[in-house]
Structure 1
């Protein structure tokens, strides 16, 4: 399902500020809405988007790591102990163990030694349109917000803003008036705001039950551990790699705590590829949606409406993105 990128015009307020510290701006209302395509958001290469010659999507391989990506996955996995799995489970998550026969084959459930996990969650109101966030992968403040969207099981339209990116970093500064990330726009309410803690609180109240997970409510400790979580990746997902801007955003099924998803997100950000991310942490009903759609659940899963390619496997997704969108 393709999405149209939306950009909101707003006056530039004062000089740009490079910070996520105080003073904290209050949420602002953006009553005027300007719609445009991805190509109108910034410079265009004028190059058509085609998959690599003879490309064939790989078969999904559950719980496998390609040998050349082992160190990448280990480095990306450091987030799990530092963040205590925040973003791995949907709000209100609960699990029970049932016999394999108790769950029909048409229903997604993880199986272990003849026993299946029946997972449920308690979600808040669902936004009609995806939340829009300008951010980049290696920013600890941005990670905090991504974790909250995973906990709340929200679909998010991400506009990657890597350093020296020609498209969405300048647009974010134009819209909000500051060189500061993350910057969130909620097209359902026309609320736009900075400050990771304010964004987390807004999302919790609007699309959850108001509860903020402990690891997202500890102030400086939260920010420090979010930064430590990315030590193993040495700043990946922060600098721009010249690329073709796609006419339509890519779609990714993912969740924040997965190391396999993280290494794919790094490349999406570096190539400045806008993408609609379907969060599907444990307990998410979207696991069943993907299971019915593909006949299999595994993340990350990429859908590229610009080429028609649909594929699993993080290592091969990375190769596909670079071969299709990077300017050699």
Structure 2
């Protein structure tokens, strides 16, 4: 328990270092018809840049973890793109396959943003990601290396599904575990869509009963989760391979280790 709390605190500090990027997003995303496929690993600061923008645009995407030492998806990146470099995005809607975080970010805003233009704050990242790299270090460099216990284990038959958002420390702890276990999953972004969403589910800034943006993505997700409370709690994991549905990051991590980490 203590170890898990430390991980959450480190993940929270990592998000603070990034200035809260990857927290808020549009309630009405332009979701692509075919799923975006992102080959990446949790601890990479360059991959983190892309995930932050995917949260800002509130886009869902498939994640194929490529931790160092992994052998399931790194080879696919080499075969499709010609080199082992991450992140690597495949967009079957446009036919593009892209390396370089800045190129991927421009692509995402061009095709899935409201104006087609990359906002200034996302248009010019430094060549060396000092801030994101510091965030990775503070987070204990989790999600970089594969768990050696499962190196030769086959991936689950069906993609797991995870609801969360980039800057959520609880979600980050789960994503790191998925990366180290090399488990592919669909990531459903549910960022903060308005000021009333700020704060954890048990302590919203807005007094009184909480209501998500009407017709927004959060409202749709609440219905999907069949929550008695009219609010969202993340992370939320669904594993169709075992028909398992879980809230609470600690429970999810323990489940992943028990089911896929031995």
Classify the TM-score, shorter chain: 0.7 to 0.9
Q: How many residues align?
A: 232
Take 1:81 and 1:291, find their aligned partners in 2: how far apart are those partners?
A: 27
Cα deviations across residues 126-147 of structure 1 (Å, max 9, x unaligned)?
2112110100001000000000
Alignment of 1:1-328 (within 5 A): 67-91=2-26, 121=27, 123=29, 125-208=30-113, 209-213=115-119, 215-220=121-126, 223-241=129-147, 242=150, 243-283=153-193, 285-296=216-227, 297-327=232-262
Cα deviation for residue 224 of structure 1 reads: 1.5
Choose between structure 1 and 2 for higher RCO, CA contacts under 8 A separated by at least 6 residues.
Answer: 1
Cα deviation for residue 234 of structure 1 reads: 2.1
Cα deviations across residues 140-161 of structure 1 (Å, max 9, x unaligned)?
0000000010000111101000
**Unpaired runs of at least 5, structure 1:** 1-65, 92-120
Cα deviation for residue 178 of structure 1 reads: 0.6
SS in 2 for 1:78: helix
Take 2:17 and 2:117, find their aligned partners in 1: how far apart are those partners?
A: 21
TM-score, normalised on structure 1? 0.67
Take 2:117 and 2:190, find their aligned partners in 1: how far apart are those partners?
A: 19
Cα deviations across residues 142-190 of structure 1 (Å, max 9, x unaligned)?
0000001000011110100011111101111111111100000001111
Take 1:313 and 1:81, find their aligned partners in 2: how far apart are those partners?
A: 21
Cα deviations across residues 99-127 of structure 1 (Å, max 9, x unaligned)?
xxxxxxxxxxxxxxxxxxxxxx454x321
Answer 1 or 2: which has greater helix percent: 2
Take 1:229 and 1:68, find their aligned partners in 2: how far apart are those partners?
A: 19
TM-score, normalised on structure 2? 0.83
RMSD over aligned CA atoms reads: 1.8
Mark the CA change 1:67 to 1:235 in structure 2 (over 3 Å): closer, same or farther: closer
Retained in 2: the 8 A contact 1:180–1:194? yes
